[in-house]
Structure 1
Amino acid sequence: MSCMLSESSAKLIEADDASSVQVSLVGGKGAELAHLRAAGLRVPPWFCLSSEACREFLGVHGWSTNALAQTSEEARQTALAELAKASLAGTWVDPFRERVRAMLELSGAVVVRSSANVEDSAQAAFAGQFKTELGLTDVEAVCAAVIGCWLSLFADHAIRYAETMKRVNDLAMAVVVQQFVPADVAGVLFTMNPTTHDRDQAVVEAVWGLGEGLVSGLAVPDRFVVARDRSVVATEIGAKSRGLYWNPVQNKVEERANPRYFCRQAALSEVQVDALVEIGYACEQRVGCPQDIEWAICQDRIYVLQARPITA
């Protein structure tokens, strides 16, 4: 089923565009990536499909964002099932497809991330509420993932959370397309201890392979607690018995059992822990509040994948 969007100008926003920091257009995740890039941090190349494309997509099917969010669960599920069958079409689609194709030629695979306007604020992170697709290697898969990200805005759990946060009347979804990093080690960094809320401690968690192995609960991570003076005050070596890895031959993410010595060995050196904490404090200083940062290391280079304020 194909939907014809209205004839409109391209809705692509590049990382260095002035509008790349406008949350209303690129969402919380997109705006944060723009700030990280402006701070000189190593962020994988990315661009954004603005929230206007989502509004237009819904509009040609007779829905507005508010109407779909506020209708009954039964009616919403019926509408989402129909919308999931739709295809991208319109004047912006060819430039979008070409931009995706160019990124795939450079990197081989991309990540498609939801970026809602209500995401990653200091009041409500909405972390884990929306959709991310990893390791996509062809244009059609990216187009399908874009629609999947749009529709994840209206998943029952996301709507319930939006209602709890009193944001259900203020929803918009952009999509970030970002170069995929086939991480050797990945994890999260908190510039405030999330357990004790100690502002003088940072916490780094790390697993072998992709960070989704940590986020999904597949792997028990290593945990490093670091004082503000950058001394490591506590280290816990997690089991890390399994991990998620990129298979470059089959072009897919796969789960693997880690070698036994991986389970006993720290995934990060002291130098890497120190470098990550330095990056974290640079992010915190720029935005003015404690940060929750997703990072990856590939071929000894540290990449910042995304960051958000730590919420209460």
Structure 2
Amino acid sequence: MAAESANAAVNIAGWNHVYSGKVRDLYESQDPALQHVILVVASDRVSAFDHVLEPAITGKGKHLTALTNWWFDRLEVPNHLSTDVAVPAEVAGRATVAKKLEMFPVECVVRGYISGSGWKDYQANGSICGVQLPEGLTFGGRLPEPIFTPAYKAPMGEHDENITFDQVVELIGQANADALRKLSLDVFKRASELAEHAGLILADTKFEFGIDPSGEPTATFNGVSGTITLGDEVLTPDSSRFWSKAAWDRGERKDSFDKQIVRNWLAENWNQEGTPPVLPAEIVAQTADKYAELVERLTTEVA
């Protein structure tokens, strides 16, 4: 295996590197019998404000992979994991062999609490993605019930865009839109219940779904029929906002188990022009500790 820098993809015997995103690297098998799967490697890279930063967050890829697999074991919904071939030794612990899905171009965001970009939208017009909300909500407050606030997955290099449910229907059809909304809300409810056992609040998260052509043909998209299947990473610090329930009860609403430490430091030390500065060692360490703490709390305190 070739030497790996902190932010580089690795060479893996028997697999061809086909794409690198901000955080994940994708590989296709050189075996003609395995063209229906893809190897998804979670790197230690960290991004903020649309930039990949230096240095990487030690252990981040393993934390994301372990937590995603932990959730898949506990969610009663089809997922993209494949057992057709083992994860290569070069990336063991931080990679997944996944079924290739026909992905829906929709990020299925669910919010149980009001924060982040949802808070900005609510302040501006009293709604989020067309969902009208009661007056008088406060930052970090619990919503009357979880809401589905989707986003359009823009082509590579462009920004994702918050959209209404009606726009989801236009993109993927009424039946698929209804199914994604129901699945997203159901999974969010189940995940919230599990998080509560670890003293955590799941404030918001995003899911991505696609069609598995090898599954029962219960849905169709882009001419592909199969089963609607949960893909990508699930309920990790990179895709979700978790809070400590004890801290929330004390009125603390901004200290989440994710890379918010990185965002806060950048906001104070960079004007978002040119190349971002190198992250200080203490910021990297604090962020790594947050990822590790979330994984430990969930996987050791929840049966």
TM-score normalised per structure 2: 0.36
TM-score normalised by structure 1 residue count: 0.35
